[in-house]
Structures are given as structure tokens and as C-alpha cells.
Structure 1
Amino acid sequence: MLTAAAGFYLGAAGRVDVRVLIETLLGVALVAAGTNAFNQLRERDVDARMQRTRGRPLPSGRVTPRAAAAFAAVISIVGVAYLGLAVNLLTAGLAALTLASYVLLYTPLKRKTSLNTLIGAVPGALPIVGGWTAAGGELGPAVAALFWMVFLWQLPHFLALAWIYRDDYRRGGLAMLSVDDPDGRHTGRMVLLYATALLPVSLLPTLLGVTGALYFFGALALGLAYTGASVAMTRAVTTARAWRLFLVSIIYLPALLTLMVLDKTVA
């Protein structure tokens, strides 16, 4: 929702159409809820084995699989259809792609390969593109930069989370990188790699004329902080350092998007 709203504002030429923005966020919220419901339906056996998720509606027995499937299907279809009718077909198509790539690729791959995190970052980064196109923005280098920023941001964020809950993921039978990385060295290297790659990519909006100097230097400072927290993970991966990186990542993205909104160049 946050990235879709930011994408809408950045993609709008001139004044923001509040009605279309609300319609976009409503459709995105429906598809996101349907995606989450389908994911929980397909992973109900995994959730039952993990302490963090065993209290969810399906593994706890509060909701039946049939009811969950019906709920997920209805709100997903309604969400995509609503975006197609109220916003535009391209945004609806991006929402459908988000749903399909998450449920049909990312969810099953979590049991098979640690590369699932890379696959899952694709649907995680598509909403900002959908927000951009909903506002009438054209597909091109500017929105591609936004996509890659959100894509790369997710990787240290989720790798840190996976390290914190590595024992739980092991119990669930999920093929996370942290499960087969006892000393955390590989996780630390990957975290630093993605955070370092994010730094120059985060500066592209200014270079592409989407934002101004305030954003550029703010993004530079935020990127250095994110990278610094990642460097600590390469020295020794501890739960405390993973939590610190996770918290930095939570601050980083809203702060970056806020800077974009505040320093958007006049279309």
C-alpha cells in the first residue's frame, strides 16, 4: 500500500487525482489480501509446524481450507477486476502478475530453494509500478529504477528476518539461506552485496529527473546507514545484529519514499 501510494504520486503528471488514488489503493489492498490468503492456504502445513505462525486461522482450525480458498479467490478476482474497470488495464495486469508470481512461484519455491527470496522480491516490488501506471505514468527507466530500489531493499530486510527465525524456518521445512548457514557468513555477505547494490540504484531517481538534490543527498545518507548496518553482519552474524539491520530496513524504505514525495520535481 505504501509503495503503491508513493508510486502513484511520483507517476502523476500535475495534480494528483485523489479519487483514482483511493480506487487504486482499494484494488491493491484487495489483491494483496487475496495473495496473502492464498499463501496461507498453501502453507497451512508449514505454518502449523512453526511457532511464529501456528496461531494463524488455518493451522489453528478457526477457518476451514474451503472457506479460505473461497475468500482468497473472491477478493482477488474482485480486486483485479476493480482495478481494470476503475483504474486501467495495465495496472490490473500488474496486480494479476503480482498475485500469480507470488502464489504460483514464490510460495512453492520456499520449500525447494533458498533463491526463493529473489523470486519473492519481484511481486514485492511490483506495487510501486502499479501505483505509477495507475496515475498515468508510462513504463520506462524512471519506474524501472523504482522497481529495482524496492526489489533490492527487500533482500537484506528478509535475509535478516530469516536469520532471526532460522530455527522456526527449519522446523517448517523451508529452504531459507539461513537454515543451511550455521555461522551466518554467507547470509552476511549476501546482505552486504544487496545493500551495496541498492545504494547507487537509489540515486537514480534524481539522475533521471524524478526527484531533486534533497532526495539525492538524503538517499545517499540513508543508503550509507543501511550499508553500515549490513557491514556489521559480515563480521559476526548475531541475532542482535540481525534485529538491528531489520529495524534499519523498516526505517529506510518509508524515509526514502517520503524524501521522494517531498522532493518530486514538477512534471
Structure 2
Amino acid sequence: MTPVASSSPAPAFADETTPSTLPMAQATTADHSDVASRLADYRELFKVRVTTMVVITAWAGFYLGSMRSGISSVQPGLIETLVGIGLVSAGSSALNQALERKSDAKMIRTSDRPLPSGRINLAHGILLGLLAIAIGAVWLTLRANLLTGTLTLLTAFSYVAIYTPLKRYTPLATFIGAFPGAMPPLIGWVAARGMIEWPAVALFAILFVWQFPHFMAIAWLYREDYGRAGIKMLPVVQPDGWSTVLEALVYAVLLIPVSLLPVYLHIAGHLYGAAALLLGIFYLIYTIRFARITKAQTVLESRRYARDLLKVSVIYLPLLLTAMMLNAIGKF
């Protein structure tokens, strides 16, 4: 007996099913696209790359603090600390973008962020930011210690409530913003040791000083954007570039002795000291080269000097911290 299905021609079967299955396939593709787009917006809102750098520098502090205590940093406390710090950093980034949504909308490089573009509404962004900060700070208090939770919360407050609005009024905002920017390794140390000590202050000092050539390169690259948005970065207020170069050079020179503090404080050995010296000289050379922005013949040439310094600054920090961790000194 011939099955009923065999009496229906293949084209008729295709014609009957295509209209119903095609919209379903399109809907599934659209759903996947929407999910991917939303995840990309959250990555931008939480500044995942910046948060990753924060977590890495905090890990260095935790590792070195654990070494000072004579214990392994490979423990549940490490993951718990980094999760808490990462949450607070992500939440701070979300609140920062909520406060800066109007100025972000005026800048080419930030106008497509989820808040100024309207893909995430303001209330949603603020709620996510506050929740991430609150959960992260409470988590650190419970899983690490009260001092770690308090310092992390104060860091978020200074970044969001002081540095962010101050950028519209004075170039000194860069100096103020360097304080919360330098806190992660100190917080990591405190999470491991439960107290603020001179080695933790040295880690803070290295990141504090490192930021200025890094920030000046960024400020020069995007000075037109900052000017349109009314953000008082140094290259906007003093566009000839000399003040920008001078600030970058002073801190690049200062970074060399500051980066050697871990040797004097017995955090790391002389191999680290040699690496820090070489890296510091390398960073300084590119900062000196950055001074050519004042005599550059074209905008492209000027931007190249700034971009090269920015790349070197991003390479410098992980290499320095890696050398410090590899040549770390144990319980002293």
C-alpha cells in the first residue's frame, strides 16, 4: 500500500510549509540579534575593558599582599575580591555615563553609547549602576573585610560624584580623578591584609603617577571632542600643547623613582627594579617624543605622537605589574 504522503508532489509540500517556517526563522534571527545588541550595550555601559584593567590591577595588589602574609593568593578570597571590585567598577562606569549622557551625545567617539543614543533609558542605567555598586560594596564587606568595602565605596563616590561633574569646570579634574583611578591595587592589598600599609601606598603611587602621561595623550587625541562637549581638559583650556606636554613629562620623570619603591619596601626584588627602570625609561622616551605635538606640521602627525604614547602607556602598566609579581618577595 502506497503511503498517502507519496501522492503529494514535492513542490506542493514546499509551498505549504515555506510561508509558515520563514517568518519563524526570521523571528529567531531577530531575537538573537536583539540579545547580542543588548549585551553589547551592557558591555559599553559597564565599560568592560576599563573594568578588566581595574580587576587586573586589584589582582596584583591582592597577590602581593598575600605574598607579604606568606600565603597563596590562589584561594576563594581572590575571586570574591575581584568579583566585588569588578561590580563596583562597572556600576561606577554606568553612573558616570548617566551623568555625562548629554556631553557624550556631543562627542563623536561617545555619541553612540547606549545612554546618549537612547538604547538604554536613563532610569535603567542609573538603577543598574546603583545596584552594581551596592551589591559589590556589601559583598566585599562580607567576604573580605569592612575596610575593603568602605574604600571601594569611597572610590566609587569620588569618581562619580566629584571627578565626573568637575570635568566641566576645571582641568584639575584630571588630578582629582587620578585618586580613584589609583585605588584598585591598594584595595586588593587591603582585601588580602586587612590594613593599609606602606607597600599598598607605593602601589597606589605608581598608578597615580602613571595616569598623567596616559591621560594627556587621550586628552590631546580627543581635544576637539572635549571642546564640543564643554569638558575642561588641559588641551582644551590651553590649546598650544605646552602645558599638556609639561604635565606629561613631569609625571613620566617622577614615575621612574616611584616605580622603584617596591624594591626599597621589599615588595619585589632587584630583577623587578631593573625591569621597572627600563620600562620607565622607555615610557619617558615616548613622552619626550610626545612633546613634538607642539611643532607638528599636520593634525595627523600630532595625533600620531599622542597615539603612540597612549599605546606605550597601556603596554607599560601590565608589564610592570607582571615583573613585580614574578619577582615578588614573600613574608618579610
Aligned with 2:234 (options 173, 177, 180): 177
- Identify the match of residue 247 of structure 1 among 311, 321, 329: 311
SS of aligned partner of 1:55: coil
Q: How far apart in 2 are the matches of 1:153 and 1:17?
A: 28
CA 1:220–1:168 in structure 2 vs 1: closer, same or farther (change >3 Å)?
Answer: same
3-state SS, counterpart of residue 58 of structure 1: helix
The correspondence of residues 42-191 of structure 1 with structure 2, limited to 5 A, is 42-136=99-193, 138-191=195-248
Number of positions where the alignment pairs a residue of Structure 1 with one of Structure 2: 267
Offset at 1:157? 0.2
In the TM superposition, what is the alpha-carbon distance from 1:69 to its structure 2 partner? 1.2
* Structure 2 contact 58–187 (Cα < 8 Å) conserved: yes
Which residue of 2 is the match for residue 41 of structure 1? 98
| Contact map agreement 2:213 2:248 (CA 8 A) in 1 | yes
Secondary structure in 1 matching 2:182: helix
- Greater gyration radius: 2
Which residue of 287, 297, 308 corresponds with 1:230? 287
Matched, 1:11 2:68: no
Structure 1 residue corresponding to 2:88, chosen from 31, 38, 49: 31
* Post-superposition offset of 1:49: 0.5
Kindly provide the amino acid, as one letter, of the partner of residue 65 in structure 2.
Answer: G
How far, CA to CA, are the matches of 2:178 and 2:219 in structure 1? 14
**Matching residue of 2:269:** 212
Moved more, 12-21 or 166-175: 12-21
What is the rounded CA distance, in whole Å, between the counterparts of 2:61 and 2:220 in structure 1? 30
User: How far, CA to CA, are the matches of 2:311 and 2:127 in structure 1?
Assistant: 36
- Confirm or deny: 8 A CA contact 2:148 2:194 kept in the other structure: no
Q: Structure 1's 67 and 229: CA in aligned 2 closer, same or farther, altered over 3 A?
A: same
TM-score by length of 1: 0.98
Note if 1:266 corresponds to 2:330: yes
Q: What is the Cα deviation at residue 137 of structure 1?
A: 5.4
Counterpart-to-counterpart distance in 2, 1:140 and 1:87:
17
Q: Is the 8 A contact 2:148 2:187 kept in 1?
A: yes
> Which structure exhibits the higher relative contact order, with contacts defined as CA atoms closer than 8 Å and separated by 6 or more residues?
1
SS at match of 1:175: coil
Q: Aligned with 2:115: secondary structure?
A: coil
Distance change (3 Å), C-alpha of 1:100 and 1:55:
same
Offset at residue 224 of structure 1 (A): 0.5
Kept after mapping to 2: 8 A contact 1:37/1:72: yes
**Contact 1:11 1:137 (C-alpha < 8 Å) held by counterparts:** no
For the 8 Å contact 2:268–2:324, the answer to whether it is kept is yes
Q: Aligned partners of 1:97 and 1:3: how far apart in 2?
A: 18
Check whether the contact 1:40–1:58 (CA below 8 A) recurs between aligned residues: yes
Match of 2:17 in 1: none
> Which residue type is aligned with residue 270 of structure 2?
A
- TM-score of the superposed pair, with normalisation by structure 2: 0.79
- Taking a change above 3 Å as real, the CA distance of residues 236 and 66 of structure 1, as seen in their structure-2 partners, is closer
Q: Structure 1: which amino acid aligns with 2:161?
A: L
RMSD: 1.0
| SS of match in other structure, 1:248 | helix
Cα distance in 2, alignment partners of residues 5 and 16 from structure 1 = 9
Matched residues in 1 for 2:194 and 2:134: separation? Answer: 24
Sequence identity (%): 48
| Contact 2:147-2:195 at 8 Å conserved across structures | no
Give the letter aligned to residue 168 of structure 1.
D
